[in-house]
Amino acid sequence: MKDKEDILRRARVNVGHLEGVERMIERDEYCIDVIRQIQAIQSSLNRLSAKILENHLNTCVTTAVRGDDPDAREKVLGEITEVFQAANRM
């Protein structure tokens, strides 16, 4: 995976923020503050997801599309379609 260390760092940061939300809930902090932190985490996770998708498009998908195996091409294109459909259901 290209940029693996950056992706791992971003994932670990999100884990830390989520643990922070857990502590906020345990301390009965103001609900709106908790919600704002959750929204920040969701935004960060969306950026992380986009980074991983970009990596996937530039590696796996490019390789499959340029390759000679039509099944591999269909597989990666179907996966991309599923990801976008799932994102639109959220």
In total, how many domains does the chain have?
1
Domain span at residue 47 reads 4-89
Give this prediction's pTM.
0.82
The DSSP line for 56-86 is: HIIIIIHHHHHSS-HHHHHHHHHHHHHHHHH
CATH of the domain at 63: 1.20.58.1000
Count Cβ atoms below 10 Å from residue 51 Cβ, excluding itself: 16
The pLDDT value given to residue 88: 83
The pLDDT value given to residue 84: 86
The pLDDT value given to residue 17: 97
Question: Based on the number of CB atoms within 10 Å of its own CB, is 71 exposed (0-12), middle (13-18) or buried (19 or more)?
Answer: exposed
Query: pLDDT tens digits for 47-85?
Result: 999 999 999 999 989 999 899 999 999 999 999 999 988
Share of the chain above pLDDT 90, in %: 78
How far apart, in whole angstroms, are the C-alpha atoms of residue 46 and residue 43? 5
The gap between the terminal CA atoms of the chain, to the nearest Å, is 27
The pLDDT value given to residue 18: 97
